[in-house]
Amino acid sequence: MPGPGDPPKEHQFKPGHAKIPGSGRPRGLTLSQCLRKISDEIDPETGKLNVEVIAEALVKKAKRGEAKHIEVFRDTSEGKPVERIRVSKGPDESHITDQELESEMKRLTAGKQIDAEPIVDAGVGQGEIPAPSSPPAIPGNA
């Protein structure tokens, strides 16, 4: 006799049908796969690869001073810039205790995900740490 956990045959899930419409294994190519495929195709008007035509259009708009295109050009060619945060107590930093420094770092970076290791290289002194230039990505939302 049908009941909870044993519905009548006409109300049971059929093989090959998902419980939730749209769930299950994706069919076909993803958007990024389609874009990669199309970017490798030849543009019939110019005889160039689509990716070359797109890059030329991006550079043309960046040259006109369009900020968004300049940013895309920079981020694509050089990578996103790293924001630097300088932690200091004032002109005389030699009297900062480790506890005070740690407290100040926590205050300045509240809510930001950072690499806590100091970076020491040309133009960057000790006590400077990188902070993300954009919020961290959430897995599964790419």
Q: Name the helix (H) or strand (E) containing 103.
A: helix 98-108
Residue 124's pLDDT band (cuts 50, 70, 90):
very low
d(CA 73, CA 79): 9
Q: Name the helix (H) or strand (E) containing 69.
A: helix 67-78
46: DSSP letter: T
Task: Write down the pLDDT at residue 38.
Answer: 92
SS3 66: coil
Rg (CA), the chain: 27
Mean pLDDT of the chain: 75
d(CA 2, CA 23): 27
Residue 97's pLDDT band (cuts 50, 70, 90):
confident
d(CA 115, CA 130): 6
